[in-house]
Structure 1
Amino acid sequence: MQGASPYQNKPYLAVAPMLDWTDRHCRYFHRCFTKQTVLYTEMVTTGAILFGKQDFLEYNPEEQPVILQLGGSDPGAMAECTAIAAERGYNEVNINVGCPSDRVQNGSFGACLMAEPETVAACVKAMRAAADIRVSVKTRLGIDEHDSDEFLQAFIEPVMAAGCEYFTLHARTAWLKGLSPKQNREVPPLQYDRVYRMKERYPNLHITINGGIKTMADIEHHLQFVDGVMIGREAYQNPELLGQFDGLFDPNHQPVASEQVIAQMIPYIEQHIKKGGRAWHVLRHMLGLFNGQPGAKRWRQILSQRGPQAVSVNDLFAEALAEVQVARDKFHQFMREQTTYGAE
């Protein structure tokens, strides 16, 4: 097995694989906030790895620990991709059994595989035989009208028997018909208690909970019942939350300031530009900085307006940070005036 296991960390925290979001630039940005949190790639299909012209497995060494999420259902192809991932330095491959989109269903993988536990089990077995690497599964609680503990157990047990010890459970059912992927992230109700019950029923499994988790208080609550917590959209839309994660491992940890992260990102972005990339490839992942704080709107506006054409970022960041500071000063002045007025 390559490298140390991220599961040795107690607790286990992760940022969810999110299509079109958690690319290598996003992961590098997130790693500036947290050293302990496990990062995931976007879902990559077996076809993209085996036949695509682009390098879908590229990552920066600084991202580790990083896990490849793989989409597919053919055991042979899944095994071949796992062997390639191991050669490239990945320590774990995660099977996507949670995505409900039509495109994914048409490829016979994602959430629809919950109805085919033996197929997933065959993939796990082939993948573990192909490389000395961890294999994990990320899944929903059920699909369509199949929304019961019994259905979930009937999925977990054959996969577990094939050698999978690591499961991430998105605490919602997926509706494969009638709901869009966006609606599937919001409409089916969260059922955290069912995830807790799976940990009680299978205490030897490492179970991570995912879905609708937004605060440190949420994280600390869930960790009373399961082994790990995975954060999705909140980590992307409010990346400063990640700066608090390492405090769960080290009570003396001080969150890194966003200004420090921006300073770290400047040479990374400039190097990306020198290699022929666009600044916007990276900047788009940084729009959530200062979320909920004075100046956040101006930060987003300046990056969105100037970022797509930017050929350098020093001046762009300087202008955006100056606007943030102006907004902060105005807010603090307003609060001082309110305090003075209230004391009269």
Structure 2
Amino acid sequence: MTERPADLDTAARLSVAPMMDWTDRHCRVFHRKMSRHALLYTEMITAPALVRGGARHLIAFDDSEHPVALQLGGSDPRELAEAAKIGAEEGYDQIDLNCGCPSDRVQSGTFGAVLMRHSDLVADCAAEMIHAQGREVTVKCRIGVDEQEPEAVLPDFLQKISAAGVRRVTIHARKAWLQGLSPKENRDVPPLDYPLVHRMKAAFPDLHISINGGIDSLDAASAHLDALDGVMIGRAAYQRPADILLDADRRIFGDDAPRPTAEDVALEMIPYAEAHIVTGGRLHQVTRHMLGLFTGRPGARHWRRILSEGANRPGADGRLVEEALSAVTREVA
């Protein structure tokens, strides 16, 4: 059985959800500059891409991202075990198994939310992943899918994966409807059932349980932390990163060290972006994640416009970020 490191327990008090096409390595570096403690996740990477496709470049990351988790998608225990081993070799702090994504692509591959119908298989996958390497293996799931009754399905699911050695789980407090709703609709349409997730903590006190879904402020996160071990925030952390992350270390982790400002973060991203450009990258690949940095503040529109219009142009570099930041400063003045 894998022993759970105390620092990961603490980091998981607040985590930024794995989000396809959003939480890439540039996004995670950006988020880390706002919070020293929050647990960050990769986008979901499929086990076949790593094991059969040899796509290790998909899981490259910067040392500054720690603590950082690799989320894997798949349903073949041996393949997931090999992918978990690769993730551990690359230096990830934890390996997560996706049992919550409702997209058509993951359904056709028999992974993601459809695995809520196959709890025995999930337990087998988790056991193989744990046995293959030394990092903690966690699971992110839904409360159920389609016509399943969450009150019956979720406890059975949690019992089986915990028996397999999983000690930390994140529960998206919505069902996933695999037919009739798009992935986007599955993030909003099915009703949230926070009380069910809270009851699962009471039923499984030894499980470290984080809640996900519809949580869009530190006030809301703090309320859940009265009863649960962790909160995972997705779109709000991406679209309004300063609101969620700049004060997270103080409010969620009790760290009274001086917090950076949004302006500090923008300036700190310039050398990172410049280093990426030197290796052949584009400024846009970094700055697209920074557009929401000043949301709700004077100058936010100018910041977004300058970066959106200019970052894809040939030769765009850190000077564009300085220009956008100057526009924010002028607006405030």
Q: What does residue 49 of structure 1 align with?
A: 50
- d(CA) in 1 for partners of 2:9, 2:54: 36
* 1:186 counterpart letter in structure 2: D
Superposition map of 1:110-259 within 5 A? 110-240=112-242, 241-247=244-250, 248-250=252-254, 252-259=256-263
Aligned CA RMSD, in angstroms, stands at 1.6
The correspondence for 1:60, drawn from 62, 71, 74, is: 62
- d(CA) in 2 for partners of 1:32, 1:116: 39
* Residues 113-153 of structure 1: CA deviation (Å, up to 9, x unaligned): 00000110000111111111211100001101113211111
Q: Is the contact made by 1:27 and 1:39 (CA closer than 8 Å) also made in structure 2?
A: yes
The normalised TM-score by structure 1 is 0.92
- Alpha carbons of structure 1 residues 232 and 80: separation in structure 2 relative to 1, 3 Å: same
Q: Is the contact made by 2:102 and 2:186 (CA closer than 8 Å) also made in structure 1?
A: yes
Range with greater deviation from structure 2 (139-148 or 50-59): 50-59
Q: What does residue 22 of structure 1 align with?
A: 23
Q: Is the contact made by 1:12 and 1:229 (CA closer than 8 Å) also made in structure 2?
A: yes
- For structure 2, the 5+ residue unaligned runs are none
Q: What does residue 265 of structure 1 align with?
A: 269
Q: Is the contact made by 2:99 and 2:115 (CA closer than 8 Å) also made in structure 1?
A: yes
Q: What does residue 107 of structure 1 align with?
A: 109
* Residues 263-284 of structure 1: CA deviation (Å, up to 9, x unaligned): 1111111110110111111010
- Alpha carbons of structure 1 residues 171 and 308: separation in structure 2 relative to 1, 3 Å: same
Q: What does residue 280 of structure 2 align with?
A: 276
* 2:269 counterpart letter in structure 1: M
Query: Secondary structure of the equivalent of 1:196?
Result: helix
* 1:77 counterpart letter in structure 2: E
* 1:76 counterpart letter in structure 2: R
Q: Is the contact made by 2:11 and 2:38 (CA closer than 8 Å) also made in structure 1?
A: no
* 1:35 counterpart letter in structure 2: R
Larger Rg over CA atoms: 1
Q: Is the contact made by 2:12 and 2:39 (CA closer than 8 Å) also made in structure 1?
A: no
Q: What does residue 328 of structure 1 align with?
A: 332
* 2:226 counterpart letter in structure 1: Q
Calculate percent identity across the aligned residue pairs.
47
Q: What does residue 296 of structure 1 align with?
A: 300
Segments ≥4 residues shifted beyond 3 Å: 1-8
- d(CA) in 2 for partners of 1:2, 1:114: 25
> Shift in Å at residue 53 of structure 1?
5.2
Q: What does residue 7 of structure 1 align with?
A: 8
* Residues 32-69 of structure 1: CA deviation (Å, up to 9, x unaligned): 00000000000000111123354112110000110000
- d(CA) in 1 for partners of 2:70, 2:6: 14
The correspondence for 1:70, drawn from 51, 69, 72, is: 72
Q: Is the contact made by 2:11 and 2:67 (CA closer than 8 Å) also made in structure 1?
A: no
> Shift in Å at residue 18 of structure 1?
0.4
Q: What does residue 341 of structure 1 align with?
A: none
Query: Secondary structure of the equivalent of 1:164?
Result: coil
Q: What does residue 340 of structure 1 align with?
A: none
* Residues 163-221 of structure 1: CA deviation (Å, up to 9, x unaligned): 11111000111000000000000101111111100000000000000111111110110
- For structure 1, the 5+ residue unaligned runs are 330-344
- d(CA) in 1 for partners of 2:266, 2:326: 13
- d(CA) in 1 for partners of 2:20, 2:321: 27
The correspondence for 1:286, drawn from 282, 285, 290, is: 290
* 1:279 counterpart letter in structure 2: L
* Residues 299-339 of structure 1: CA deviation (Å, up to 9, x unaligned): 1111110011153433212221222223223xxxxxxxxxx
Query: Secondary structure of the equivalent of 1:143?
Result: coil
